[in-house]
Amino acid sequence: MIWHIYIPNLKPGQLLWVFRVNGPYEPENGTGLTLINYVDPYAKAIAGTIDWNDSLFGYEVRKPDEDLSFSQTDSAAFIPKAVV
């Protein structure tokens, strides 16, 4: 599948996107998708570095049930972005 978008007035060099994956959180059924941001694997260039933050894990790091918990924290501020 190919996705594309046209954004008026977008200039070369602007930081544009990450993929935001969101889905059902049902670890008992083998689905544990949460609100996680991924860098586009087909980006020609990326800018920034990973700033390690608890939001990158998709679960509540300090909770007793850790990876069975659910985090709604947005990780977009902590990962590189694709460059136009």
pLDDT over threshold 70, residue 62: yes
Instruction: With CA atoms as reference, report the closest residue to 75 among 23, 39, 30.
Output: 39
Task: Please give the Cα distance from 31 to 47 (Å, whole number).
Answer: 31
- Mean pLDDT on 60-76: 80
pLDDT score, position 1:
62
Task: Please give the Cα distance from 67 to 69 (Å, whole number).
Answer: 5
**Could you report the per-residue pLDDT of 8-50, keeping only the tens digit for each?**
888 888 877 776 666 777 777 776 665 567 777 778 888 888 8
pLDDT score, position 43:
80
Q: Model's pTM, two decimal places?
A: 0.60
pLDDT score, position 34:
58
Question: Residue ranges of the domains in the chain?
Answer: 19-82
